[in-house]
Amino acid sequence: MFGACLMAKPALVADCVKAMRDSCDIPVTVKHRIGIDDMESYEQLLEFIEPVAAAGCSVFIVHARKAWLQGLSPKENREIPPLNYEWVYRLKRDFPHLTIVINGGIQTLVECQHHLQFVDGVMLGREAYQNPWILAQVDATLFGMDNPANSRDDVIAALLPYAQQQLARGASLNHITRHILGLYQGMPGARKFRRHLSENAYKKAAGIEVLAQACALVAGSHEQQA
C-alpha cells in the first residue's frame, strides 16, 4: 500500500513506524490527510493518530484536507476537498507533546506566521516550487535571523559552487535546476529563464554554462526594461 489509502490502516502504519524506528536512528515522521473517503469526523482522525503516536511517531505533517481515493485524480485531491485548518490546530491542543506541522494551500510567510500561533511548523509544497524565492525570506521573517540572500542573483551565486561540485560527481544539471525554475517568477525574463533551463538542463552534456546562459537571459531582460 502507498499514500493516503494507508489512513484506513492505522494498525499497519503503526507497525511500519515501529519497524522503521527499530531499524534506524533518524526520526521517523508521518505525513497524512485529515481523513479519506467516508472518514467524516475528528474522532476518526484520532483513530489514526493515536496508535501511530503510540508506536513512536512524534512528528505529524498534516495536509489539512481529506483525500477522495475514488473519483478524484491526485491533482484534484490537492485542490478540491476543502481545507480544514481548525482540525490541525485541535490536534496540537489535544496532543501538546506531539510536533504538529500544518500543510495545504499556504502561500505566504504572513500565513505561516498566523499558523505558527497554533502549531509547531508549516510545510509549503507547491509554493516552494512555484516561487522558491519565498524561502530566502524565511530566516529573517520567521526566525529573526539574517537574510541569507538579498537577491535572486545571490541565490544563484550561492548555488553555483554546489552545482559545479555535483556535476563533477556525475549529477545531471536538471536535477538541481528543476528546483529553481520559478526563482524569477513575476520578474522580467522569468519565462526565458525557465524555458532555457527546461529545454537544455536535462541534456547529457549540460554543464554549468546552461545555468549561466539562463541567468544572462534574465539580466538581458532587465537591461531591456531599463
Ligand X SMILES: Cc1cc2nc3c(=O)[nH]c(=O)nc-3n(C[C@H](O)[C@H](O)[C@H](O)COP(=O)(O)O)c2cc1C
Q: How far is the CB of 73 from ligand X (least distance, A)?
A: 12
- From residue 41, how far is each of 36, 46, 58, 128 by CA, in Å? 10, 9, 22, 31
Q: By three-state DSSP, how is residue 54 classified?
A: helix
Please list, in sequence order, all residues whose beta carbon lies within 8 angstroms of the beta carbon of residue 22, skipping any fewer than 6 positions away.
Answer: none
Q: How far is the CB of 87 from ligand X (least distance, A)?
A: 15
Q: Which residues bind ligand X (CB under 6 A)?
A: 31, 63, 78, 103-106, 124-127
Task: Please say which residue, 125 or 220, places its beta carbon nearer to ligand X.
Answer: 125
The span from the CA of 100 to the CA of 26, in Å, is: 18
- Please, which contacts does 85-89 make with residues 24 or more away whose CB atoms are closer than 8 Å? 85/115, 85/118, 87/34, 87/42, 87/45, 88/34, 88/62, 88/64, 88/118, 88/119, 89/118, 89/119
Task: Please say which residue, 103 or 221, places its beta carbon nearer to ligand X.
Answer: 103
Task: Please say which residue, 77 or 221, places its beta carbon nearer to ligand X.
Answer: 77
What DSSP element (H or E) covers 137?
A: none
Task: Please say which residue, 16 or 218, places its beta carbon nearer to ligand X.
Answer: 16
Task: Please say which residue, 81 or 189, places its beta carbon nearer to ligand X.
Answer: 81
Q: How far is the CB of 120 from ligand X (least distance, A)?
A: 17
Q: Nearest to ligand X by Cβ — which residue?
A: 125
Please state, as a whole number, how many other Cβ atoms lie within 10 Å of the Cβ of residue 141: 16
Q: How far is the CB of 61 from ligand X (least distance, A)?
A: 8
Q: How far is the CB of 127 from ligand X (least distance, A)?
A: 6
